[in-house]
Structure 1
Amino acid sequence: MAPILDIKNLYKNYGSTEILKDINVSIEKGDFLVLVGPSGCGKSTLLNCIAGLEPISGGELHIGGRNMTNVSPKDRDIAMVFQSYALYPTMTVAKNITFGMKVRGVDQATQQQKLDHVAKQLQIEQLLNRRPGQLSGGQRQRVAMGRALVRDPKLFLFDEPLSNLDAKLRVEMRTEIKELHQRLGASMVYVTHDQIEAMTLATKIVVMKGGIIQQIGTPAEIYNRPANLFVADFMGNPAMNLIPAKVQSGSDASRIEIARRDGAPIVLRDERNRDLPEDVIIGVRPEDIAEPGYRAGTVAQEAECMVDIVEPAGADTYVVMQMGGKHVTARLHAETTAEAGKPQKLAFDLGKVSYFAPETGQRLN
């Protein structure tokens, strides 16, 4: 079966400025694709190209097996949910949801049937006679989603739909969107700059920077095996520790030395990665540095570390240390005995570390 969305060698220029460079991505029916990256990376432009709101400068774009490169937005069988909700202020919720069907000449009975079905799905039956001005941000968000759902499109497009909501409501709406996706089995493309949102919602993530795709993968692949330093630093909260280190390669193991501010370097022995260059940046997630016996995996290597700062955070306690001239964060359990200004034995899970080339930033293992 053809992918529901297939983008091949897509370019987008404004005059001589390249905004999107050689974008290749495809998703199957029922996938939840999240485009993530910092402001100005081109993710909203890419979404607008999929929607037909922006013409593309090169390449091809297929939806449901059909070439949409020169097809107008209304004929693409898509529905879009905007950040601003884009609701008509003078119309009731019911009319906002059915307006598109009315314009397309859908008969009254079908309009009512679809409205009832969607209102029930989104639990907004009691809001149908209100106007947008009488609704909370979360309720407006649901109405905007309802308007998209009644179209029953091939593809749903979401442009940062939760960024106007407060933190608590964002988490609730995120859960609702995820439930909706699972219930409908709908195909969705979703833009966000929030990497937590990307990790929790996506079946597939595209990480972008400067109009170029840095990595495509499942949330687990992106988190555990970042393709380069940018992805490693961008995805994850707290971010992955990225520590400069020296390597001596041996026939049975690599000896990894991490400089310390005071005292001898930390030495780790990695038997899995034996052909590393002399200079590397070692990437290790905060949860992969733990007290011996806690959480660290089967390939744990222990080292004595000097603790600078202890930050209790409920279920976890974060400790910050200096290694390789960088602040390094370890995520320890709540009852840790670690104290600021004192040494603490910690275990590094070498089964989960990433190595990057300092010059190119590319992953080495």
Structure 2
Amino acid sequence: MAPILEIQGLYKNYGSTEILKDINVSIDAGDFLVLVGPSGCGKSTLLNCIAGLEPISGGTLSIGGQDMTHVSPKDRDIAMVFQSYALYPTMSVAKNITFGMKVRGVDQKTQDAKLKKVAEQLQIDQLLHRRPGQLSGGQRQRVAMGRALVRDPKLFLFDEPLSNLDAKLRVEMRTEIKALHQNLGATMVYVTHDQIEAMTLATKIVVMKGGVVQQIGTPAEIYNRPANMFVADFMGSPAMNLIPAKAVKNGSGNTIEIEDKTGKPIVLKDTSGRDLPNNVVIGVRPEDISEPGARNGKAQQEADFLVDIVEPAGADTYVVTSLGGRQVTARLHAETTAQPGQHQTLAFDMAKVSYFDPDTGLRLN
């Protein structure tokens, strides 16, 4: 079966400036693809190219097995939810949702049935008589989603739909979108700069920087095996610790030496048999630096550190120290006795460590 969306060698230029460079992405029916990256990385431009709102400068784009490279947006069988809601202020909620069907000549009985179903799904059936100006931001976003859902398209496109909402409502709407995806089995492409949204919503993530795809993978692949230091640093909260180190060949493994705050080496052992260069950057998630005995695993290796900062965070406490000239964060349990200015024994889970080339930034294992 052909992918629902297939992008091959896509380029987008504005004059002599390249905005998107050799984009290759494909998703199957039912996938939830999230395009994520910092502001200006090209993710919204790529979404607009998929929608047909931006002409592409090179490459091809197909939807449902049909070439849509130069097809008008109205003929692409897509529905789009914008950041700005884009609702008609003089129309009721019901008319906003059914307006597209009315324009396409859908009969009234079908309009009413789809309106009823979508309104119940989004819990806005009590708001159908109101106008957008009488709604909260979250209610407006539900209406915008409802307008897309009644289309029953091949692709749903979301352009940072939650960025105008407050933190609590963002979490609630994120859960609703996830539930909608699971219940409908729809294929969705979603743009966000929020890596937590990406991790929680996606079945597949595309991480972008400077118009270039950095990595494509499942949330677990992106989180556990980042392709380079940019992905390692961008995906995760707190971010993966990236620590300059020396790797010295030692039998079947390597000895990893990291300078502490005083310039003395912290020595850890890598027994994986990797072939590492002398200069290396080790990547370790905060949760993989814990107190001795807090986690099971033969790869736990202990060392003594001077604590700089202690940050209570409810169920966890973050402890910050300095290694290799970088701030390093450990995620400890809430009842930790760690104190600023005191030494603390911490255990590294060496089975979870990533290694990166300090010159290219690329993953070494």
- TM normalised by structure 2 equals 0.99
Q: Distance in 1 between matches of 2:102 and 2:298?
A: 62
Aligned partner letter, 2:210:
G
- 1:185-200 alignment runs, 5 A limit: 185-200=185-200
CA contact (8 A) 1:290 1:296 kept: no
Match for residue 317 of structure 2?
Answer: 317
Counterpart residue number, 2:90: 90
Structure 2 equivalent of residue 292 of structure 1: 292
CA distance in 2, matches of 1:114, 1:286: 47
Give the aligned residue type for 2:238: P
Partner of 1:54: 54
Corresponding residue of 2:277: 277
3-state DSSP class of the match of 1:125?
coil
Query: 1:253 deviation in Å?
Result: 1.5
How far has the Cα of 1:137 moved from its partner? Answer: 0.4
Q: Counterparts in 2 of 1:319-334, with a 5 A limit? A: 319-334=319-334
2: distance between equivalents of 1:230 and 1:277?
20
Q: Look up the match of 2:11.
A: 11
Corresponding residue of 1:234: 234
Q: Closer, same or farther in 2 for the Cα pair 1:296/1:236, shift >3 Å? A: farther
Amino acid at match of 1:39: S
How far apart are residue 296 of structure 1 and its match?
5.9
Separation in 2 of the partners of 1:296 and 1:198? Answer: 29
- Cross-structure match for 1:34: 34
Q: Would you say the 8 A contact 2:252–2:273 is kept in 1?
A: no
After superposition, where does 1:241-280 map in structure 2 within 5 Å? 241-262=241-262, 264-280=264-280
Superposed, which structure 2 residues align to 1:119-138 within 5 Å?
119-138=119-138
Q: Which residue of the partner structure matches residue 161 of structure 1?
A: 161
1:221 alignment counterpart:
221
Per-residue Cα deviation, 1:301-337 (whole angstroms, up to 9, x for no partner) = 1111111111111100110001000110000001111
CA distance in 2, matches of 1:172, 1:157: 19
Matched, 1:114 2:114: yes
Contact 1:206–1:213 (Cα < 8 Å) also in 2: yes
SS in structure 2 at match of 1:127? coil
In structure 1, the gaps of 5 or more residues are none
Match of 1:306 in 2: 306
Equivalent position of 1:146 in the other structure: 146
Q: 1:260: how far off?
A: 1.3
Between the aligned partners of 1:235 and 1:147, the Cα distance in structure 2 is: 32
**Is residue 79–residue 151 contact of structure 1 (8 Å, CA) maintained in 2?**
yes
Q: Distance in 2 between matches of 1:343 and 1:219?
A: 35
Per-residue deviation, 1:103: 0.4
Residue 77 of structure 1 corresponds to 77
Deviations 1:125-169 (A, max 9, x none): 100000000000000000000000000000000000000000000
Q: Which residue of 1 aligns with 2:353?
A: 353
Q: How many residues align?
A: 365
What are the Cα deviations for residues 196-241 of structure 1, in whole angstroms up to 9, with x where unaligned? 0000000000000000000000000000000001000000000000
Residue 362 (1) aligns with residue 362 (2) = yes
Aligned partners of 1:296 and 1:348 also within 8 Å: no
Structure 2 match to 1:344: 344
AA at the equivalent of 2:207: V
| Letter aligned with residue 272 of structure 2 | R
Provide the C-alpha distance between the structure 1 equivalents of 2:307 and 2:121, rounded to a whole number of angstroms: 51
Query: Does the Cα contact within 8 Å between 1:35 and 1:191 map onto a contact in 2?
Result: yes
Q: Which residue of 2 aligns with 1:43?
A: 43
In structure 2, give the amino acid aligned to 1:164.
N
> How far, CA to CA, are the matches of 2:273 and 2:283 in structure 1?
13
Q: CA deviation at 1:46?
A: 0.2
Q: For the residues of structure 2 that align with 1:197 and 1:326, how far apart are their CA atoms?
A: 27
1:143 and 1:274 map into 2 onto residues whose CA distance is 53
Asked if the contact 2:289–2:349 (Cα under 8 Å) also holds between the matched residues in 1, the reply is yes
Amino acid corresponding to residue 72 of structure 2 in structure 1: S
Supply the distance in 1 between the matched residues of 2:184 and 2:74 (Cα, whole angstroms).
22
How far residue 251 of structure 1 moved from its aligned partner, in angstroms, is: 2.5
Partner of 1:174: 174
User: Residues of 2 paired with 1:304 and 1:85: CA distance?
Assistant: 53
Distance (whole Å) between structure 1 residues aligned to residue 222 and residue 278 of structure 2: 26
Aligned equivalents of 1:111, 1:350: Cα separation in 2: 58
What is the letter of the counterpart of residue 349 of structure 1?
D
- Structure 1 vs Structure 2: percent identity of aligned residues? 81
Structure 1 segments of 4+ aligned residues over 6 angstroms from their partners: none
Any conservation in 2 of the 1:251–1:274 contact (CA below 8 Å)? no
Letter in 2 for 1:274: R
CA RMSD, Structure 1 to Structure 2 (Å): 0.8
Distance in structure 1 (CA, Å) of the matches to 2:273 and 2:98: 59
Structure 2, unmatched stretches of 5+, are none
